[in-house]
Amino acid sequence: MQWRSLLLGLLLLRLGLQALLTLLPALAPGLCLRRRFPFPSPHWGSLRPRSGGAAAGDEYERRYSGSFPPQLRARLRDAARGMFVFGYDSYMRHAFPRDELDPLHCRGRGPDRHDPSNLNINDVLGNYSLTLIDALDTLAVMGNSSEFQKAVKLVIDTVSFDEDSTVQVFEATIRVLGSLLSAHIIITDTKQPFGDMTIKDYDNELLHMAHDLAVRLLPAFENTKTGIPYPRVNLKSGVPPDCINETCTSGAGSLLVEFGILSRLLGDSTFEWVARRAVRALWNLRSNNTGLLGNVVNIQTGHWVGRQSGLGAGLDSFYEYLLKSYILFGEKEDLQMFSDAYRNIQNHLRRGREACNEGEGDPPLYVNVNMFTGQLMNTWIDSLQAFFPGLQVLIGDVEDAICLHAFYYAIWKRYGALPERYNWQLQAPDVPFYPLRPEFVESTYLLYQATKNPFYLHVGMDILQSLEKYTKAKCGYATLHHVVEKTKEDRMESFFLSETCKYLYLLFDEENPLHKSGNKYMFTTEGHIVSVDERFRNSLWQDILPGEEDSAEKSKPNDLKAVNFSSNCNRVPDERRYLLPLKSNYMRQIDRMVGLI
Per residue in 157-174, pLDDT (tens digit) is 999 999 999 999 999 999
What is the reported pLDDT for 546?
A: 52
Per residue in 470-500, pLDDT (tens digit) is 999 999 999 999 999 999 999 999 999 999 9
Confidence of residue 574 (pLDDT cuts 50, 70, 90): low
What is the reported pLDDT for 66?
A: 77
Task: Report the C-alpha gap between 136 and 494 in whole angstroms.
Answer: 11
Task: Report the C-alpha gap between 408 and 406 in whole angstroms.
Answer: 5
Task: Report the C-alpha gap between 532 and 543 in whole angstroms.
Answer: 22
pLDDT above 90: percentage of residues in the chain: 80
What is the reported pLDDT for 36?
A: 30
3-class secondary structure, 240: coil
Query: How close are the terminal C-alpha atoms of the chain, in Å?
Result: 48
Closest CA to 224 of 216, 233, 215: 233
Task: Report the C-alpha gap between 536 and 542 in whole angstroms.
Answer: 14
Task: Report the C-alpha gap between 12 and 442 in whole angstroms.
Answer: 55
Q: What is the mean pLDDT of residues 316-331?
A: 97
Task: Report the C-alpha gap between 413 and 526 in whole angstroms.
Answer: 25
Q: Which helix (H) or strand (E) holds 101?
A: strand 100-102
Q: What is the mean pLDDT of residues 306-335?
A: 97
pLDDT at 4 over 90: no
Closest CA to 170 of 244, 101, 220: 220
Number of neighbours of residue 150 by Cβ within 10 angstroms? 13
What is the reported pLDDT for 61?
A: 87
Q: Which helix (H) or strand (E) holds 11?
A: helix 2-27
Closest CA to 91 of 48, 131, 142, 136: 131
Q: Which residues contact 437 (CB under 8 A, 6 or more apart)?
A: 383, 384, 386, 418, 495, 500
**CA torsion through residues 97, 101, 178, 215, sign:** positive
Q: Which helix (H) or strand (E) holds 23?
A: helix 2-27
Whether the CB-CB separation of 109 and 99 falls below 8 Å is answered with yes
**CA torsion through residues 265, 277, 295, 116, sign:** negative
Catalytic residues: 171, 316, 420, 439
What is the reported pLDDT for 544?
A: 53
Per residue in 197-248, pLDDT (tens digit) is 999 999 999 999 999 999 999 999 999 999 999 999 999 999 999 999 999 9
Q: Which helix (H) or strand (E) holds 335?
A: helix 332-348
What is the reported pLDDT for 19?
A: 43
DSSP string, 444-462: HHHHHHHH--THHHHHHHH
- How distant, in Å, are the alpha carbons of 153, 360, 417, 438 from that of 565? 46, 22, 31, 26
| Residues of the binding site for Ca(2+) | 525
Mean pLDDT of the chain: 88
| Residues of the binding site | 525
| Residues 70, 72, 73: CA angle, nearest 5 degrees | 60
Surface-to-core class of residue 568, CB atoms within 10 Å of its CB (0-12 exposed, 13-18 middle, 19+ buried): middle
| Residues 290, 296, 301: CA angle, nearest 5 degrees | 90
Number of residues in the chain: 597
Q: Which is more confidently placed, 33 or 392?
A: 392
Task: Report the C-alpha gap between 477 and 297 in whole angstroms.
Answer: 35
Instruction: Report phi then psi at 107, rounded to 5.
Output: -150, 170
| Residues 320, 321, 325: CA angle, nearest 5 degrees | 135
Per residue in 59-96, pLDDT (tens digit) is 888 888 778 999 999 999 999 999 999 999 999 999 99
Q: What is the mean pLDDT of residues 300-316?
A: 98
| Residues 419, 84, 206: CA angle, nearest 5 degrees | 105
Q: Which residues contact 507 (CB under 8 A, 6 or more apart)?
A: 80, 441, 444, 445, 448, 456, 457, 460
> How many Cα atoms are found within 13 Å in the side-chain-facing hemisphere of 534?
0
DSSP-derived letter for residue 269 is T
What is the reported pLDDT for 32?
A: 33
pLDDT at 577 over 90: no
Q: Is the peptide bond before 97 cis (omega within 30 degrees of 0)?
A: yes
pLDDT at 18 over 50: no
Per residue in 256-283, pLDDT (tens digit) is 999 999 999 999 999 999 999 999 999 9
Whether the CB-CB separation of 463 and 412 falls below 8 Å is answered with yes
Task: Report the C-alpha gap between 582 and 565 in whole angstroms.
Answer: 20
Number of neighbours of residue 116 by Cβ within 10 angstroms? 12
Task: Report the C-alpha gap between 525 and 321 in whole angstroms.
Answer: 8
Per residue in 507-543, pLDDT (tens digit) is 999 999 999 877 799 999 999 999 998 889 877 665 5
pLDDT at 3 over 50: no
Q: What is the mean pLDDT of residues 540-560?
A: 53
